[in-house]
Amino acid sequence: LASITLLSCSQDETVATMDRVAIAFDKVFVENSTSSRAAEDITLDKLNNFSVYGSVVKGDQEGNIFDEQKVEKTAGEYTYSPAQYWIPGASYHFTAIAPHEGYWIYTCKPGTESEYGTRQAQYGTITFDNHSAGAEQDLLWAYKTATTAASFTQKPEAIGFSFQHMLSRAKFTFKNGFAKGSNISLKVKNVTITNAHKVGTIELNGSNLPVAWTVAESTTENPNTFERNFGDAGTETNYGPQTSGTTVHYYLIPVANANYKIEFTIDLYQAGVLLLENIQKTADIIGFDMKRGYSYEFKAELNASNTSNDGALEAIEFKVTGVKDWENYTNVDANINTQTSGNN
């Protein structure tokens, strides 16, 4: 279920420069996110801080001006210290990652002295530990370049970052597939992905990003998976025929050809009476290509064929085996007493 709207903002802009004008960050945008959930989305209103990496190139010279620089929102403005300044006739590359303090590591790609200097802010890798984050931490990334004019004419605008969500979101919806009027209600509990990826890496290449991450192969000795319990599907005690219950969202590292094993428990009620309790179920999601910045809703329908572990539930049926014939009543004769009408 793709629910993210990308903002169409240019990744590159040319700015006019003035002597000793500080580089500022502002005009921050975040891709839309619209679901209430346990894991907390970083929305524009909640983007309180981020880290900036930045390099400047002029001719064959390159230097680093920002290295995990914390930028904070104060009174609605994004500020940092100490200030860095624009140089005329230079090119700048900025990479931003939010939140500033998180379970991620950004490694700038080393360059050669003649070509790039020592580090390239537009390249490198992000490694994210979703296990340590409990699958509850959003991760944002933004990239921007700027080129200063050869002469100082006016104060440049602040660098505007348009952040993208780097992970996938997932939730699970279970539909009670029994027919309306069947008096069967369900409760789905403890929905769990048993093999969510712990750690993943994505390689940056300026504004060109892969749609998925790479993850290390999981082995018995070095498992790269963990369990993430999504809780119960819905907040109601149980839900009736043709209605659904949905879990909260959590974050997953998006990978191509993902295979997930899902476990959950079902309680079945008939006419409000709990008749089948803690039915253990498993399901598989096989060969699913996940993409960063997308929100997924995995749906399943529960009905008579898949609810019980003892085979399909059998519907109560009725049949007619016969109709008893009428019998003659012969034990006592029934006389009808009649009187003749007239004068006595």
Higher local confidence (pLDDT), 138 or 223? 138
pLDDT at residue 268 above 90?
A: yes
Q: Are 287 and 281 in contact (CB under 8 A)?
A: no
Contact 160, 28 (CB under 8 A): yes
**Which residues have a Cβ under 8 Å from the Cβ of 26 and sit 6 or more positions away?**
77, 78, 157, 158, 159, 160
Mean pLDDT, the chain, rounded, equals 81
Give the mean pLDDT of 18-43: 50
**Residue 100 contacts residue 70 (beta carbons within 8 Å):** yes
Please determine, for residue 314, whether its predicted confidence score (pLDDT) is greater than 50: yes
Strand spans (E) along the chain: 12-17, 25-30, 49-58, 61-74, 77-79, 91-98, 104-110, 119-129, 140-152, 159-165, 168-176, 184-197, 199-205, 214-215, 225-229, 244-246, 250-252, 258-270, 273-288, 295-302
| Sequence-ordered list of residues with C-beta below 8 angstroms from that of 309, at least 6 positions apart, any chain | 279, 280, 281
Confidence of residue 343 (pLDDT cuts 50, 70, 90): low
Distance of CA 160 to CAs 64, 71, 73, 242, 271, Å?
A: 19, 13, 14, 47, 58
Confidence tier at 122 by pLDDT (50, 70, 90) = low
> Higher model confidence: residue 336 or residue 142?
142
Most confident of 8-12, 151-155, 200-204, 334-338: 200-204
pLDDT score, position 18: 31
> Which residue type is seen at 185?
S
> H helices of the chain, where?
none
Cα 17 from Cα 26, distance rounded (Å): 17
Tokens standing for residue 115? 């070509």
> Which pLDDT belongs to residue 13?
35
What does the pLDDT read at residue 116?
Answer: 39
What is the phi/psi pair of residue 200, to 5°?
A: -140, 165
3-state secondary structure 147-161: EEEEEECCCCCCEEE
Kindly tell me if the per-residue pLDDT of 112 is higher than 50: no
Q: Which long-range contacts (CB under 8 A, 24 or more apart) does 77-85 make?
A: 77/26, 78/24, 78/25, 78/26, 78/28, 78/158, 80/25, 80/52, 83/22, 83/23, 84/22, 84/23, 84/54, 85/20, 85/21, 85/22, 85/23
Which has the closest alpha carbon to 250: 303, 300, 296, 302?
296
Mean pLDDT of 5-11: 26
Mean pLDDT of 51-55: 90
CA 80 to chain centre: 31
Number of Cβ within a 10 Å radius of residue 71: 24
β partners of residue 79: 72
pTM equals 0.79
Average pLDDT over residues 260-272: 92
For residue 232, the tally of other CB atoms under 10 A from its CB is 20
User: What would the mean pLDDT of 229-240 be, rounded to a whole number?
Assistant: 87
> Which residues 6+ apart lie within 8 Å of 283 measured at CB?
261, 262, 264, 300
Task: Write down the pLDDT at residue 204.
Answer: 84
